[in-house]
Structure 1
Amino acid sequence: MDKKITFNELRKIKDSLPDGSIRQLAHEFDIEVETVRNYFGGANYDRGKSVGLHIEPGPNGGVVLIDDSKILERAKELLADEIH
């Protein structure tokens, strides 16, 4: 399912994650850490893979269309757990 979010919102979620969350997400989804970083707008394709992000220029860093929102949804769960 495609998910639409602004680039700035996506980066804010990444920057708000507790320490170790990127590694935890990589472990849970059995992917490289750099691939998780690429999911949140990084661009290290030497060590990580492309993850189905499509960025359209515009306000707030542009609009990001995410092909598969599982990592994003899990990241939001981690943030919610941090609040409680």
Structure 2
Amino acid sequence: MAEATFKRGQRVELKEVAEATGLHRTTLYRMVNLRGYNATLNNIDALCRFFGCGVGDVAVYVPDEEVPQASLPSAADKTNA
């Protein structure tokens, strides 16, 4: 989005991208702000079409061991709740 903003000389808003691609703004926010967000190929395709770019321009490979894992409650936590 930063590169598109630079090329156009004006800010590209999530709302504009959402309307043009059919992706929900919450989905776009998560894709941009949550490291390791599991984006679907359809979402990536929609972004590539909108920005006129390749997959490598909108996605970065992050090995599993580098993605922070959310801690899940243990069975003991569930019985004490």
* TM-score normalised by L of structure 1: 0.28
The structure having more radius of gyration, on CA atoms, is 2
Structure with higher strand content: 1
Structure with higher helix content: 2
Higher RCO (C-alpha under 8 Å, 6+ residues apart):
1
